Structure formats: structure tokens, C-alpha cells
Structure 1
Amino acid sequence: MRIQFLGAAGTVTGSKYMLSSGGSKILVDCGLFQGYKQLRLRNWAAQPFKPADIDAVVLTHAHLDHSGYLPLLVKAGFRGKIFCSEATFDLCKILLPDSGHLQEEDAAFANRHGYSQHSPAAPLYTEEDARVSLKQFAPVPFGADVSVAAGLTAHFSHAGHILGAAVVAIDDGSRRITFSGDLGRPDDLIMVAPSPLQPTDYLVVESTYGDRLHDHTDPMLELGEAIRATAARGGVVVIPAFAVGRAQNLMYYMHLMKESGAIPKVLPIFLDSPMAKDATAIYARHRMDHRLSAAQCQAMCHAAAIINTVEESKELDRRGGPGVIISASGMATGGRVLHHLKAFADDPRNTILFTGHQAGGTRGAALVDGARVIRIHGQDIRVRARVANVDSMSAHADSNEIMAWLGALGTPPRRTFITHGEPAAADALRSRIKHELKWDCLVPEHLQEVQL
């Protein structure tokens, strides 16, 4: 068995691992690179393999940095099955076509306004490309063993993080390698805790927060304070949020805060993401993946007014405050939230509120780091709004939580590979694993191959 690290090595995005055993080749995850331009350019570059030679893809979860390259893979000739959990398939049916649609919209907008360096600007793939790729999905239940290629069996267990997220173990009959995917938190308000790590010969573990501990302050205290202060100024709170996972957490918190009086019951709250609306409805169909009751799911679904059309979205920018706008994308790399940032960033009455990790090279990272000017759609936008980040809402396990998950394993793996983290975070986790658990571990480089 061999593994090649085609993504998420030295960065938190682009998750993609080639696993070879005998005559079989599979990809574990197939995500988009995000953030720095030099990383995003990898999405357009030829892959170091022929898509037609891949027997199958196994997805850990639906976020685009893990699934978003699939339409291009299929377009380039991949004809195998895409194995994932049932909830991941339901979410990909929303996320992937929306990704293609947004790329088409962004390209059209760039062509209309002439700010692209390419003439004409073109999408990486289209909405139709994404819909075609969905025909190759093969959802499987948690806990089942499924043959994904000749001689290779996959097993899915809960990772927490978002709906459908899985820890995936691949077995070739003599060796087992386990992929953590994005590991959730043991005490998440909505998602179930990650399943215990089972014995494995090799392990690939994420390190998004490998060098940090989460603030354990109740997120409602920070959210409530920011929203109340902004509303008192007559301002708008713009919350960039991933449509799957974070948007639902935020809506549930909004419901709880209104019920408790932490924020005014009459304060207008808008969810400007039809995709997030569809994703929220999926929670009712996958009750085993989360902790919410049917009544709590309903409350979450009705916590915000849903904005569907582009004209309704534009009207939000004209109406002003007070109010709260939750809109994708979570790192301000695209989507409708960019138009809201253009409308509200220059007013000191407003607040731009982030609620999770911001990858290097994204507008979100620049804003959290104090940028007073950001570039959107070819324009320089002055930032005078207050910028804050509620880190306690993160859906990723922090360094201590990762170590606790690893430490519960009795027999150490032969080797642990640390991926899906910025260099400092990955190396910090490597150091902790080496010194506290005495495990053999490696932070792989991009395109590195290792014999297992």
C-alpha cells in the first residue's frame, strides 16, 4: 500500500490523498484549494494522475475543501463510484451544484465589470458539471464495511464536525490506514461527538487547530454582546458563515438568544443563503448525526428570515440596520456575503463577525488580522466596521481535544501523518504527539509519496 499527499499538506485546504494497493487506486477526499492564489492555481493545474485510472473516491465529508474538485474529476474522465455517508451525499447534492453556479456567476460578473485578468473569465466547472458528478455517488451507512475497490474495504464512523462527517478506515487485508477527516469536538452543541479511534496501522490526522486551544467561553455571551452593541448603534452584524454546519449552529444560537432575552426578540435576522436553508432541512432527516430533537430542529429552521432571490439579497444592503445577516462563504472567498461586505464594511456602526478558522490568504484572514482595506470584485473596500472572531464556535477539535482522541487509543499506529493545517499548527501537533504519546509521526510535503 502507498499513499501520496495531493492536498492538505502544508495547508488547511485541498484535501486529497491517493491510496494505491495492488492494482487498485482510490482517492480519499477530492477537495478544492482555497486561500492564497498560488494554492488556488492548483485547482486549474493538471493532476499527477489520470482521472480515468482512479477506481473510486471515498469522501470524509461534504465541505468543498474535501469534495469540491469532484465535478472536475468526473469531467476529466473519472468513471468510478464516490463513496460517502448518506448525509454527506444529501449535502453534496446542494453544495456541489451551488459551487458550480457561484463560479458561473462570478465569471459572468467579472466579464461584465472587466476586472478579471482572463478574457473571458471562465468557471472551473459549471452547475451542470456538478449535477453530472452526483450520478456517481454511492452513499453507505455509518458502521458498515463496504468494498470500494478490488482488495480495499472502507469503514465509516462518526467524526462530528458537520452533518455526515466521517472518520474513514481503509483496509487491504493486511494493513489499515485511518483518515480523521475534519475532527469535531466532544461537547459540540449540535453535532455528536467523534467516535473513538479504533486500532489502525497508519493514521492521517488533521491539525487545523494543532497549535491552539479554543476559548471555552459560552459563544452566546460573545455573540450576544456583539449583536446587542451593534444593534444599539443602529448597525448591521454581517456574519460570513459556511452554509453547511456553521449557518445551522448560528441559527440555533439565535433562537436560544432570543428565547433567553440575550438579544431582542424583534431584532431582524436574515439567512441570505438558499443553500443553507436546504441544508438545514436535511438535519431533520439525519437525527442520528446530531443531538437536536425534532422540535429543536424546527426552532433552528425558523430562527431567521430566509433570503432566496438576488433582488431580496440586494434589498438587505439598502434597508440598513439594525439587524443580523448570515451569509456564505465563511472565509469571505465568494458568494453573496461579498456584496454585504461591500455595503457595510465602511460604516463604523456595523460589525463583521467571524465564527471559525480563516485560512491564510482569504479575505476572512485579512480582516481578522486587522486589514483596513480589502479587495472585492476588483475594488478596494475601506474597512471601518468593527471586526471580531468568536473562536469558541469552531467545529474543529483543538489541540487538547485532538490529543485526547488520539491518546485513548491503546496501541499506537506504526506512523501518524499530520495534515490539513498551516505549517506552524501541523508542526506543533507533531511535537505534542511525539513527546506526549511517543508516536512516530510525519508532516508530509505536497506530492510526497510514502510506502506503507
Structure 2
Amino acid sequence: PRHPLLRPPEPFDGADTLLLESTYGDRRHDDLTSASRFEEAISSTLKRGGTVLIPAFAVDRTEMILHELTDLARRGVLHEVPISVDSPMAPAALDVYRKALELRRPQLLPSITAHGLGALLPPRLHLARSAEESRRIDTANGPQIVISASGMATGGRILHHLSAALPDPRNTVLIVGYAAVGTRARDLTQGTTTLKIHGRYVPVRARVVDLPGLSAHADYPEILDWLGSAPAPKTTYLVHGEPAPAEILRERISERLRWTAVVPRPTEMVLLP
């Protein structure tokens, strides 16, 4: 999909065997709607004095969200609210982007290189490095934005932020990527009224906004476009997807491209040419 920081991937030029993700093999992203819902959710939450809590993986996803927040700040949407990034790995991931910007790496979009470090550093950004700094975030007064790992809320510092934020209807939790079955993030997107965290059930009164269109995983039109100009592999194996979207993508690849596509069974073994 269109990455807000990086150039598009190189065209696929063929392979004997292809392993292909199928996360969103059954849907099409609506980028414009997702961006407008992202802005609306943040703006309305801040106006009522709440916390915007964004579960996000430290590598790449956090940097993408910071870029989007930087854009909102430039347009006056954020009104100088504090933004905390709370993940031990996030500062190291940010350093990778900092170095890439300083070296003007060609993988970056020209528009990002032109802004330099300002592309990822919204005003009042704070990187919480210690456990004490992490705990202080939940006791802050007034509106704020918190980005914390892990992205699917399976562990990490996001859990104590969810415990603090979910009972308060002023707050909003933004799910900004794929949420797998069995994860707390998926439970939130499906409307659960309680969430089990650290052995106890927390009431969910905060607003939950699911934004799959902001995911870095490609939708099926993007996948088919990427495949379209290449010769057919001997076999295409569809992985990294739930059974239904994987099967739908298999059918689309078979019908449109006339390729041999397979959804392998868990633990299945195959011989490669």
C-alpha cells in the first residue's frame, strides 16, 4: 500500500515459488475515509478533554503515526497537546529513520526527505524511556495522545494504559492496523464491553475506532496490481492471513491471473522446485 514515508516497492519480476501475504485478501482499503476518521476521532477526543490511546508496534507503525500527527499539528488540529511515545524499542526505531533522513536515503519519499526530522517530530513529543515515565502518563491532567506497544495489545506497556483509559468515556482507543483473532485489539474492534488485563476485567466505556485502512498490509487490488506484470510462479502459497480472506484471494489470483495459488494447511510440508 501507499506508505507515507517510503517509496513504493519495486515491481515483482517473477519467482519460481512465491509466498504471499493474504491479510486483506478480501477487502479494499479506503484511504481517504480512514484519514478523515483518524482526524475526527482525535479532534473530538481532545475537545472533550480525553486521552487518545493508539496501540502501535514500535517499528514502522509508530513512525507512520507520528508523521500523520505531524501533519495534523501543521494544520492546527492538535492545539499543542502533549504526545507520548511509550515503548522501549521506539526510540531505537526512530533513530533508524533519523539516520536515513540525515543520509537522504533513496528509499524515503522526496517529500519526507525535504522536511527532514520535522517529518516525524510533532510538537510536544515525549519519548517515555523509564517505567516511572510510563506510569506518569496515566496520571496526567487534560487531553493527550499516547502511542504505545504492542500494536495488538497482547503485551507491553499499552496494557496499563488501556487499564487506565478504557473506563472513561471521554477517551478514545484507535486501532490503526490489523488485529488478529484472539488479541485484545480484535476484541475491542468487535465491541467487547469488558477486557481482561493482568487478571482482571476492565470495563470498556471509551470510544473504540477501528481504522484498518491505515494498515501497512496491502489490500487485494494492490496485491493483484503488484503481481500483474510478472510471469507466473510455479506455485503461489498464500500465508499470513485468516482462512476466509486467504481463500478469497486465492480465487481472485486464480481467476484473474490464471496462476496456481494454494492456501496451505497449518504445518503442511511442500517440496520446492
Deviation at 1:255, TM superposition (A): 1.0
Post-superposition offset of 1:366: 0.3
Question: By how many angstroms is 1:216 displaced?
Answer: 2.0
Q: Which whole-Å deviations, capped at 9, do the CAs of 1:122-159 have from their partners, x for residues lacking one? A: xxxxxxxxxxxxxxxxxxxxxxxxxxxxxxxxxxxxxx
Q: Secondary structure at the match of 1:318?
A: coil
Q: Are 1:230 and 2:45 counterparts?
A: yes
Structure showing greater Rg: 1
Identify the residue that residue 284 of structure 1 maps to in structure 2.
98
1:388-427 matched pairs, under 5 angstroms: 388-409=209-230, 411-427=231-247
Aligned mates of 1:215, 1:423 — CA distance in 2:
23
Judge conservation of contact 1:356–1:395 (CA < 8 Å) in 2: yes
Aligned residue in 1 for 2:161: 340
Q: Secondary structure at the match of 1:217?
A: helix
Contact 1:281–1:301 at 8 Å: present in 2 too? no
Tell me, yes or no, if structure 1 residue 384 matches structure 2 residue 205. yes
Q: Show the counterpart of 1:163.
A: none
After TM superposition, the score normalised by the length of structure 1 is 0.57
Write the deviation string for residues 30-88 of structure 1: whole angstroms up to 9, x where unpaired: xxxxxxxxxxxxxxxxxxxxxxxxxxxxxxxxxxxxxxxxxxxxxxxxxxxxxxxxxxx
Is 1:449 the counterpart of 2:263? The answer is no
SS of the equivalent of 1:204 reads: strand
Is 1:439 the equivalent of 2:259? yes
Q: Deviations over 1:87-106 (max 9, x none)?
A: xxxxxxxxxxxxxxxxxxxx
Cα distance, 1:221 vs structure 2: 2.3
More displaced, 280-289 or 341-350? 280-289
Give the distance between the partners of 2:99 and 2:11, measured in 1 at CA. 24
Aligned 1:71-110 pairs, distance under 5 A: none
Residue in structure 1 matching 2:4, options 186, 189, 214: 189
For the 8 Å contact 1:333–1:362, the answer to whether it is kept is: yes
Once residues 53 and 161 of structure 2 are traced to their aligned partners in structure 1, the CA distance between those partners, rounded to angstroms, is 7
The residue aligned with 2:32 is 217
The answer to whether 1:257 aligns with 2:72 is yes
Question: What's the TM-score, normalizing by structure 2?
Answer: 0.92
Give the Cα–Cα distance (whole angstroms) in 1 for the partners of residues 214 and 69 of structure 2: 13
- Residue 295 (1) aligns with residue 115 (2): yes
User: Where is the strand percentage greater, Structure 1 or Structure 2?
Assistant: 1
1:321: how far off?
Answer: 3.0
Match of 1:429 in 2: 249
Where do 4+ consecutive residues of structure 1 move more than 3 Å? none
Structure 2 stretches lacking a partner, 5+ long: none
1:192-242 deviations in Å (ceiling 9; x for gaps): 211111222221111011111111216542222111111111111110011
The separation in 2 between residues aligned to 1:334 and 1:274, in whole angstroms, is: 13
Superposed CA deviations along residues 268-307 of structure 1, whole A, max 9, x for unmatched, are 1111124212211101333233222163334414552111
Q: Tell me whether 1:354 sits opposite 2:175 in the alignment.
A: yes
Q: Distance in 1 between matches of 2:78 and 2:34?
A: 13
Q: Is the 8 A contact 1:224 1:263 kept in 2?
A: no
Tell me the distance in 2 between the aligned counterparts of 1:224 and 1:449.
46
Structure 1 pair 198–299 and aligned structure 2 pair: CA distance change class (3 A): closer
Whole-angstrom distance in 2 between the partners of 1:246 and 1:321: 26
Equivalent-residue separation in structure 1 for 2:116 and 2:213 (angstroms): 21
- Within-5 A mapping of 1:232-247: 232-247=47-62
1:306-351 CA deviation, whole Å, 9 max, x = no partner?
A: 1111111111111143111011110011111100000010011100
What secondary structure sits across from 2:106 in the alignment?
Answer: helix
For these two proteins, the number of residue pairs brought into alignment is 265
* In 2: Cα distance, 1:371 partner to 1:300 partner: 33
Partner residue in 1 for 2:15:
200
Contact 2:70 2:121 in 1 (8 A): no
Question: Is residue 310 of structure 1 aligned with residue 136 of structure 2?
Answer: no
**Distance change in 2, residues 1:243/1:201 (3 Å):** same
Aligned to 2:191: 370
Q: Secondary structure at the match of 2:139?
A: helix
The 1:220/1:436 distance shift into structure 2, 3 A limit, reads: closer
One-letter code of the match for 2:142?
A: G
After TM superposition, list the pairs within 5 Å mapping 1:4-19 onto structure 2.
none
Helix, strand or coil: the match of 1:267?
Answer: coil
- The residue number in structure 2 matching 1:273 is 87
Q: CA RMSD in A?
A: 1.5
142, 147, 161: which is aligned to 1:326?
Answer: 147
Query: Partner amino acid for 2:176?
Result: T
SS at the partner of 1:329?
coil
Partner Cα distance (2:142, 2:171) in 1: 8
Unaligned runs of 5+ in 1: 1-184
